[in-house]
């Protein structure tokens, strides 16, 4: 993987993943937040996404990945971005907003119209499939 480079650009990683969240992953795990990862960041990423990582750690990083604007909350706009990426833009705008509304209804514990880290963690830690999907097999 690379020729003794110490910095991996996110374009290089793109070649390895068709993951729609690849840019977010690169941004979240990179040290300076702009998508350039050193080897340590790379190891961090695989360590969090491995099957040995504990649940809360994964939940913490999942929250960061889904928070597109890095404001510390998953707001409606973040949710819309997520749903659009998940469905490749094939859901109608009305359906997307309906889904986002339902997600906020279900998960927003303090009723402030967006998901804080606590809301997200409470919700995700009860999901039975979370561990198996937030997992890169290497």
Partner 1 sequence: MDLPMSLPYLQLTAPSWPLETETVSPAAMEERPTWEPEAWGSPGGWLAPREARAGPSLSSVLNELPSAATLRYRGPGVLPWGASEEEEEDGERRLQTMAEVAQQELEEPVPSRELPWPMQARRTHRKSHARDQVAQGSGSRASNCALKFRRLKEKTKEGLHTLQPWAWTLKRIGGQFGAGTESYFSLLRFLLLLNVLASVIKACMTLLPTWLEGTLPGPPGSDTSSPCGFYNPSPQGLVTFPTHLLNLLSGEGFLEWSPLFYGFYPPRAHLAITYLCSVFVIGLLYLLFILHRSVSGLKQTLVAESGALTSYSHRVFTAWDFGLCGDVHVRLRQRNILYELQVELEEAVVRRQAAVRTLGQQARVWSVRILLNLLVIALLGAAFYGIYWATGATVELQETPSVQQMPLLKLLVDYLPSIFISGVNFLLPPVFKLIAPLEGYTRSHQIAFILLRTVFLRLASLLVLLFSLWNQITCGGKAEAEECKTCGYNYKELPCWETRLGQEMYKLLLFDLLTGVAVMLLIQFPRKLLCGLCPGALGRVVGTQEFQVPDEVLGLIYAQTVVWVGSFFCPLLPLLNTAKFLLLFYFKKFTLFSTCSPASRTFRASTANFFFPLVLLLGLAISAVPVLYSIFLIPPSKLCGPFQGQSSIWAQIPESISNLPQTVQNFLFFLGTQAFAVPLLLISSILMAYTLALANSYGRLVSELKRQIETEAQNKVFLAQRAVALSSATGALRPP
Tell me the two tokens of residue 77: 């706009």
**Region class of 69: left (phi > 0), else alpha (psi between -120 and 50), else beta:** alpha
Q: How many residues does the chain have?
A: 138
Which residues sit opposite 37 in a β-bridge?
A: 8
User: What is the token pair recorded at 129?
Assistant: 């499939």
93 binds partner 1 per the rule CB under 8 A: no
Decide: is 7 part of the binding site for partner 1 (CB under 8 A).
no
Strand, coil or helix: 69: coil
What are the backbone dihedrals phi and psi of residue 129, each rounded to the nearest 5 degrees, phi first?
-100, 0
Range 8-37, binding partner 1 (CB under 8 A): 16-21, 23-25, 27-28, 30-36
52 binds partner 1 (CB under 8 A): yes
> Which 60-89 residues touch partner 1, going by CB under 8 A?
60-62, 64, 66, 68-73, 75, 77, 79, 82-83, 86-88
Q: Which of 8, 90, 93, 97 binds partner 1 (CB under 8 A)?
A: 90
Write out the binding residues for partner 1, residues 106-135 only, by CB under 8 A: 106-107, 109-112, 116-120, 122-124, 126-130, 132-135
């Amino acid at each position: 993987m690379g020729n003794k480079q110490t910095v991996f650009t996110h374009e290089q990683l793109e070649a390895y993943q068709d993951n729609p969240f690849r840019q977010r992953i690169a941004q979240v795990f990179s040290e300076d937040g702009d998508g350039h990862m050193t080897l340590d960041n790379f190891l961090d990423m695989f360590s969090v996404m491995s099957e040995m990582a504990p649940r809360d750690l994964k939940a913490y990083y999942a929250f960061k990945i889904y928070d597109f604007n890095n404001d510390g909350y998953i707001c409606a706009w973040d949710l819309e971005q997520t749903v659009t990426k998940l469905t490749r833009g094939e859901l109608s705008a009305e359906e997307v907003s309906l889904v986002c509304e339902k997600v906020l209804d279900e998960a927003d514990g303090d009723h402030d119209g967006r998901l804080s880290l606590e809301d997200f963690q409470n919700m995700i830690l009860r999901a039975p499939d979370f561990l198996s999907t937030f997992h890169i097999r290497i």
